[in-house]
Chains A and B, each alone.
Chain A
């Protein structure tokens, strides 16, 4: 019996030594031994082979398959005026005022049914559908038996992911977080001097690199010359909390967020000891002026790190960018936009907070194949003369959407949980009523 426990202890020691030497130390110092590259190469080849096999099998089944378009319908994009005009064209147009026909309802009915079948917003709050299966159960609900080889590879994949990769990643993540808390607290004891800043940055980046290895993350940074500088605000599209790990692998940022209790609270308190982050109490978040003032103070102090903000306010599924809240664009600081795009083949990075808790989400991340993403640093943007915050926010949003290949939506990410505001419905009603009654230029109430 004792021999058994001695054996287990010995195996655990070897395991830890291997992790420290092969993964942690290279991560700390920023170089790579090539292990993850080899893994990624094997993975890419396996997935390509799997895709070919599935396509061959499917091609035999349905020879007349329609094109693999993700949409369900083809939408007509005519305006209300144009379409109603076409519906009414058989009647003589009254010389003044509008008109009502029973056929007007056709336009609204068709638009309504179109949105029931396929709308732009609700699909953004669930994970993206893949064109071809990537050998993970979670992306393919009914498993069809295609060939013995594919099933074997799939089974092998499950074993590799759950029994080899997951414990490895969990260990690394644990080490990374612990080191973050200890390291930042230790640096916090030093007096404010240049060495402290340098050490604090080094500790932060190191811990985030370990965490990134803990997710098998392969990150490609583009246009590094546009990296955010001190005294600015960095804005990015939001897909999951892991965005922070991704961005902080290549630079140091000051975080903004709510004070949490528990484990997160410990991490937050430790981090703020070594360099200033902006943490708000829950009650303070409601006071917009207080929030703006604290952010402005931080930004005006040129020695402080750039602030990292996700203006969407919630996680969306990385196929689109939703409305940016204007708060951070009113401060008048330089905005450094960053676009983040994950490759969904290797794992779905979107955190569906209504479906999964943080812990189960992290476990899902650690049992995916890998995390591959591209980060583009866009040139800095400033608020122009006479431009209001909303317009500026939309401009930045379009730039990010364009770079990342995402759909640029005007809808609010808050629609994930809240109902749409009545003002939007009233706008539609007003538009139609002006067509029924005719544009009345003498009416001058709002």
Chain B
């Protein structure tokens, strides 16, 4: 218990995350305890192995791509801020937010940003274009050969 004291969430951090993602105070603290329960190494960051330990995610056909979305380019660890930033894309769009103080940038969970997230799942080399190769690669694990074959009789 003593080693976790250094990674406890400070009020300023909660405020920052609240402004950036739009989650409420209690949501952030509960998601933080979820973050720490996934963090088996107890070093304040999650690695890809930590995500793969979740069985329901491991059997998801897009599991690896979803895990990749959490990690910025070339990095192997994601901290709590990065974790929340990715999760923020999945917050529902609420009506009363549309007319509130207009932020300088679009909120993370706007329709455009949600679509951008989905687009990036297909865009493997992150060049903002989906090539045919990339589409085929995402579908690679789908059992197409067997299903697209017909047994011709002699």
B56 with A109: CB separation less than 8 A: no
Contact B60 A115, beta carbon cutoff 8 Å: yes
Residue A434, interface by CB 8 Å:
yes
Q: Across the interface, which residues of B come within 8 angstroms of A419, CB to CB?
A: 52-53, 58
Given contacts A72-B30, A122-B53, A443-B149, contact A105 B60 (CB under 8 A): no
A40-79 to B contact mask, C-beta < 8 Å, 1/0: 0000000000000000000000100110000010000000
Given A72-B34, A105-B122, A110-B90, the answer on whether A429 and B143 have CB atoms closer than 8 Å is yes
Contacts of B1 in A (CB 8 A): 137-138, 141
Please name 12 further chain A to chain B contacts, defined as beta carbons within 8 Å, in addition to the given A72-B30, A138-B1, sorted by A numbering. A72-B27, A72-B31, A105-B138, A109-B66, A141-B1, A419-B53, A425-B63, A436-B139, A436-B142, A437-B147, A437-B148, A442-B150
Give the residue of B4, B52, B142 whose beta carbon is less than 8 angstroms from that of A433: B142
Size category of the B interface is 35 or more
Cβ-based interface call for B144 (8 A): yes
Is B112 in contact with chain A by the CB < 8 A criterion? no
Name the one of B56, B138, B147 contacting A434, with C-beta atoms under 8 angstroms: B147
B62 touches A108 (CB 8 A): yes
Q: Select the residue from A106, A112, A420, A444 with max chain B CB neighbours within 10 A.
A: A112
A105: which B residues are within 8 A, CB to CB?
A: 62, 118, 121-122, 138
Q: Which residue of A lies closest to B36 (CB)?
A: A141
Q: Which residues of B contact A142 (CB under 8 A)?
A: 8
Distance, CA A438 to CA B143, complexed state (A): 12
Closest CB of chain B to A9's CB: distance in Å? 38
The answer on a CB contact under 8 Å between B147 and A65 is: no
Alpha-carbon gap, A442 to B4, bound state (A):
58
Nearest-Cβ distance from residue B24 to partner chain A, whole angstroms: 8
| Beta-carbon contact of B55 and A415 below 8 Å | yes
**Which B residue's beta carbon lies closest to that of A427?**
B59
Residues 92-107 of chain A, each 1 if its beta carbon lies under 8 Å from chain B, else 0: 0000000010110110
Task: Out of A122, A126, A425, name the residue touching B61 (CB < 8 Å).
Answer: A425
Q: How far is the CB of A259 from chain B (nearest CB, A)?
A: 31
Please tell me if the beta carbons of A113 and B66 are within 8 angstroms of each other in the complex. yes
Asked if B154 is at the interface (CB within 8 A of a chain A CB), the reply is no
- Minimum CB–CB distance for B135 against chain A, Å: 9
Q: Is A445 an interface residue (CB 8 A)?
A: yes
Q: Which residues of B contact A438 (CB under 8 A)?
A: 147
Given contacts A113-B90, A433-B144, contact A420 B58 (CB under 8 A): yes
- The reply to whether the CB of A430 lies closer than 8 angstroms to some CB of chain B is yes
Question: Of residues 403 to 446 in A, which have CB atoms within 8 Å of B's CB atoms?
Answer: 411, 415, 419-420, 424-425, 427-430, 432-434, 436-438, 440, 442-445
Interface residues of A: mostly helix, strand, loop or mixed? helix
Interfacial residues, chain A to chain B (CB-CB below 8 A):
62, 65-66, 72, 100, 102-103, 105-106, 108-113, 115-123, 126, 137-138, 141-142, 411, 415, 419-420, 424-425, 427-430, 432-434, 436-438, 440, 442-445
B57 within 8 A of partner (CB) = yes
Taking a contact as CB atoms under 8 Å apart, the answer to whether B142 and A106 are in contact is no
Residues of B contacting A120 with CB < 8 Å? Answer: 56
B55 adjacent to A119 (CB under 8 Å): yes
The yes or no answer to B132 lying at the interface (CB within 8 A) is no
Residue pair B61, A429 in contact (C-beta under 8 Å)? yes
Residue from the list A109, A138, A415, A424 in contact with B62, Cβ < 8 A: A109
Q: What residues of A have a CB within 8 angstroms of the CB of B150 in the complex?
A: 442
Q: A105-B118, A108-B61, A443-B149 are in contact. Are A116 and B143 (CB under 8 A)?
A: no
Q: Does B101 contact A (CB under 8 A)?
A: no
Bound CA span A423–B148, Å? 21
Partner of A111, one of B27, B52, B60: B60
Give the chain A neighbours of B26 by CB distance below 8 A: 62, 65-66
| Closest B residue, CB atoms, query A435 | B142
Q: Considering the chains assembled together, what is the distance between the CA atoms of A65 and B26 in angstroms?
A: 8
Contacts A108-B62, A112-B62 given: A411-B55 contact, CB under 8 Å?
yes
